[in-house]
A and B are shown apart, each in its own frame.
Chain A
Amino acid sequence: MIKRIIFDILLLLSAIVCPWWFTGIFSIVVLYYFRTFNEIILFGLIMDILYGRLSATFHWWDYKFTLFFLILLLSSIFIKKRLKFYSR
């Protein structure tokens, strides 16, 4: 549990300080390390709020990170089930 909290804090710091591509790579590592890491979508939403533009109407392109992390999460679930050596 402590490990998870540390990774959550690191991911939040990465979202605030580091370039978006670094956070993207880091999130892939975290998704591999933990069996389930559903809060990753929350980080996507945080990044969209911090950097995206606020518009009156809903556009999917204003939530690029949320969508990106959602796709990452779903594909990680799919891939992990099929990996023979993945035993976490």
Chain B
Amino acid sequence: MNYLLKSSNFEDRRKMARRKILVTVLILVIGFFIINTHLTRQILFYIAEPIWKIQSRISNSSFGEYFRTKQNIINEKIALEQKLFLAGDLMAQNSVLQKENDTLKDLFDRKETKLKTILASILVKPPQTPYDTLTVDVGEDQQIKIGDKVIALANVFIGEVTEVYSHSSKVTLYSTPGQKLSVVLGDSSISAEAEGIGGGNFNIFLPKEVEVKENDVIVIPAITSNVFGIVEKVTFKDKDSFQTVLFKSPVNIAELTFVEIVLNK
């Protein structure tokens, strides 16, 4: 029986293919380190910023309102009036409680310091990106620094500034998977460590003996109590000695258009 001998052409092709793969891997590795530098990041953000600003302006404009039906607007007006009535009631209650809180703090000589914040418009947010990050339109030009805290809806802490560029910054949300934060849980003020699991969700592991109910409020330990999350679900198995508390931030990131950045003094 005769077999075809391997031609030198076949060997050459194999060598060429190997060389190609090696060169591609080398280019990839070098490219990875070049593109991951701060300078390249700044250039990329410099290119992307104007495009994001135009996109943000278009999506925030009222152009779509011209194409809505009359009945649709009437229905929305009724729903908004009802919401406004409820919000007004809550605001009245809130101001009474705030006054009482201030008086008590004055009695104990604990003056509340007003935070110096700056308003920022969100350029990129989830679900455009699968990461729990936001890109906002203020940067070094507005004295934003890495580590500045970010709040939404006036008093809910949602994340921290992690990258600052000339006219924009990137905010990493506390709900980023693996991000850990100290919190105080429920009426009994139990200190615990919350861990982000993505999409505005968190979990806490606690001994089963600790009593936690659904809708319990979670706050960040500070002299000013700001709601950080609301307990959604408590799960445990009979044989386990720990329970998992799943909670969610009251802020829906997808609906946000503005945030406030707390400036460090």
Smallest Cβ distance from A13 to chain B, in angstroms?
7
Stretch from A25-33, A42-50, A80-88 contacting the other chain? A42-50
Task: Given A20-B128, A52-B131, check contact A45 B170 (CB 8 Å).
Answer: no
Sorting the interface of chain B by its residue count into under 10, 10 to 19, 20 to 34 or 35 or more gives 20 to 34
Structural contact, B128 and A19, CB atoms closer than 8 A: yes
* B-contacting residues, A1-45, CB 8 Å: 13, 16-20, 38, 41-42, 45
Give the residue name and chain of the B residue nearest to A63 (CB).
Answer: B32
Residues of B within 8 A of A45 (CB): 31-32, 35-36
Q: Is the CB of A49 within 8 A of B36?
A: yes
Given A46-B35, A52-B133, A53-B170: A13 and B51 interface contact (C-beta under 8 Å): yes
Contact, CB under 8 Å: B128 / A41: no
A51 touches B127 (CB 8 A): no
The interface residues of chain A lying within 8 Å CB-to-CB of B177 are 61
Smallest Cβ distance from B139 to chain A, in angstroms?
14
CA distance in complex: A45, B176 (Å): 19
Q: How many residues of A contact B (CB 8 A)?
A: 21
CB within 8 Å of A: which of B11-32?
Answer: 24, 28, 31-32
Task: For B52, list chain A residues within 8 Å (CB).
Answer: 16-17
Contacts of B44 in A (CB 8 A): 46, 49-50
| B35 adjacent to A49 (CB under 8 Å) | yes
Judged by DSSP, the binding face of A is helix
Give the residue of B35, B130, B176, B178 whose beta carbon is less than 8 angstroms from that of A20. B130
B131 contacts A19, C-beta separation under 8 Å:
no
Complex formed: what's the CA distance from A64 to B124 in Å?
18
A19 with B55: in contact, given A38-B24, A45-B35, A50-B48 (CB under 8 Å)?
no
Q: Give the Cβ gap from A23 to chain B, nearest Cβ, in Å.
A: 10
Considering only CB atoms, which chain B residue lies closest to A54 in the complex? B163
Supposing A16-B51, A16-B52, A17-B51 touch, asked if A51 and B131 sit within 8 A by C-beta, the answer is: yes
CB distance from A85 to the nearest CB of B (A): 24
B75 CB-CB contact with A under 8 Å = no
Query: What is the bound-complex CA distance between A54 and B178, given in angstroms?
Result: 14
> Once the chains are docked, how many angstroms separate the CA of A27 from the CA of B129?
16
What separation, in Å, do the CA atoms of A66 and B29 have in the docked complex? 12
Give me 22 A-to-B residue pairs in the complex whose CB atoms sit less than 8 angstroms apart, sorted by A's number.
Answer: A16-B47, A16-B51, A17-B51, A17-B52, A19-B127, A20-B128, A41-B28, A41-B31, A45-B32, A45-B36, A50-B44, A50-B48, A50-B129, A50-B135, A51-B133, A53-B133, A53-B162, A53-B170, A53-B176, A54-B162, A59-B178, A66-B32
Which A residues fall within an 8 A CB radius of B? Answer: 13, 16-20, 38, 41-42, 45-46, 49-54, 59, 61, 64, 66
> B residues near A, CB below 8 A?
24, 28, 31-32, 35-36, 40-41, 44-45, 47-48, 51-52, 55, 124, 127-131, 133, 135, 162-163, 170, 172, 176-178
User: A20-B128, A46-B35, A64-B131 known; 20 other A-B pairs, CB under 8 Å?
Assistant: A16-B47, A16-B48, A17-B51, A17-B52, A18-B128, A19-B128, A20-B129, A41-B28, A42-B35, A45-B31, A45-B32, A49-B36, A51-B124, A51-B133, A52-B131, A53-B133, A53-B176, A54-B170, A59-B178, A64-B130
